[in-house]
Amino acid sequence: MSISWRVITFLLLLILLQLETSRAIWFPWYFHRYGFQPHSSRHSGAVNVAPDGGPGKGSKSNKGGSATCPPGYELKGSKSHSASGRLCDDNPVVMQLARLYVVSPERIVLLLAQPLLAESCDEIADVLEHIRGATTNCILTEDNIYGKLTNGLRYYKSEVCDGGSESSGNRKRCASLNNAHNCLKELRTDMIECEAPPDWYELRNVTKVCQTFNNVLDCYYTRGAMLCGLEAAKQLRSFAADSMKRAMLQSCEVSKRLPKVNDPMLISATT
């Protein structure tokens, strides 16, 4: 029995000697050096960096934000993540949005009042193409204001310029907005007066942001109903809500209660 154990031990030693110690991360020395904390949680997907060495240094370096990968160990896809995870310089995005004066969620809605929708849509497509080119090899963070405004502008293009996607179920709304375009052009000044104070959508107070958001929507509806009729006002409010939500940092619910407005079309018909 003792001879067989010696043979087994000898064979195991031969196997261990042939392994690259840098790859043998499952052996006890790994846990002694790096601790029992899972590899992925130690650096939260950061780019792999070799540790400084020495027992127990892996877990300490995580607090400082540096990675603690053992030699030869890399997270799957970590190299591609580091290349595509570079943050974008948002100045090119700002410059493109400035071409359309898109400085707030409301200014995306205001594009509906442009004199010529076709020419406006061509410029919007060009702006979005330039933004796409500037952000191809990098990413904008989720809380980047200009990235959010770009999302809202993309939505405008898909719903107004491209006629609305079938999956969105908004083709009827798009047709209604296009039919009411002559009236919406006259609504431009009113829509500007409905805009909230500058930077309102950047506030941390969610309640205040969402209240302002719904106030703007109600203003659009009231002004739109008085000039263009209730149906056009409903479609304007619906579109404004969908586009502005995509351009905001906070997530807000749209109030289902509509302001009380007499339909001017019915009033003019009875007089």
- pLDDT over threshold 50, residue 50: no
Q: Please check whether residues 59 and 134 belong to one and the same domain.
A: no
- pLDDT over threshold 80, residue 120: yes
Q: Please check whether residues 187 and 234 belong to one and the same domain.
A: yes
- pLDDT over threshold 70, residue 40: no
**Domain membership of residue 162 as a residue range:** 91-270
- pLDDT over threshold 70, residue 145: yes
Q: Please check whether residues 127 and 79 belong to one and the same domain.
A: no
User: Could you give the CA distance from residue 184 to residue 96 in angstroms, rounded to a whole number?
Assistant: 25
- pLDDT over threshold 70, residue 214: yes
pLDDT of residue 57: 41
Most distant CA atoms of the chain, gap in Å: 113
- Percentage of the chain beyond pLDDT 70 is 65
Q: What is the mean pLDDT of the chain?
A: 77
User: Could you give the CA distance from residue 231 to residue 219 in angstroms, rounded to a whole number?
Assistant: 15
Q: Please check whether residues 124 and 252 belong to one and the same domain.
A: yes
- pLDDT over threshold 90, residue 32: no
User: Could you give the CA distance from residue 116 to residue 181 in angstroms, rounded to a whole number?
Assistant: 9
Between 4 and 124, the higher pLDDT residue: 124
Structure tokens at 173: 């709304």
- Percentage of the chain beyond pLDDT 90 is 51
pLDDT of residue 31: 41
Task: Please tell me whether residue 53 adopts helix, strand or coil conformation.
Answer: coil
The mean pLDDT of 81-100, rounded to a whole number, is 82
The mean pLDDT of 25-49, rounded to a whole number, is 41
Does residue 5 lie within any of the structural domains?
A: no
**Tokens 């905001």 identify what position?**
248
Residue 64: pLDDT band (50, 70, 90) is very low
Q: Please check whether residues 198 and 256 belong to one and the same domain.
A: yes
Between 159 and 54, the higher pLDDT residue: 159
Q: Please check whether residues 52 and 169 belong to one and the same domain.
A: no
- pLDDT over threshold 90, residue 76: no
Q: For residue 40, give every residue at least 6 positions away whose Cβ sits within 8 Å of its Cβ, in sequence order, or none.
A: 75
User: Could you give the CA distance from residue 130 to residue 136 in angstroms, rounded to a whole number?
Assistant: 10
Cα 59 off chain centre by: 33
Does residue 9 lie within any of the structural domains?
A: no
pLDDT of residue 225: 94
Q: Please check whether residues 155 and 224 belong to one and the same domain.
A: yes
User: Could you give the CA distance from residue 226 to residue 166 in angstroms, rounded to a whole number?
Assistant: 31
pLDDT of residue 13: 65
Q: Please check whether residues 162 and 197 belong to one and the same domain.
A: yes
Residue 6: pLDDT band (50, 70, 90) is confident
| Phi, psi torsion values for 139, nearest 5 degrees | -130, 150
Q: In angstroms, how far is the first alpha carbon of the chain from the final one? A: 112
Q: How many domains does the chain have?
A: 2
The mean pLDDT of 260-270, rounded to a whole number, is 67
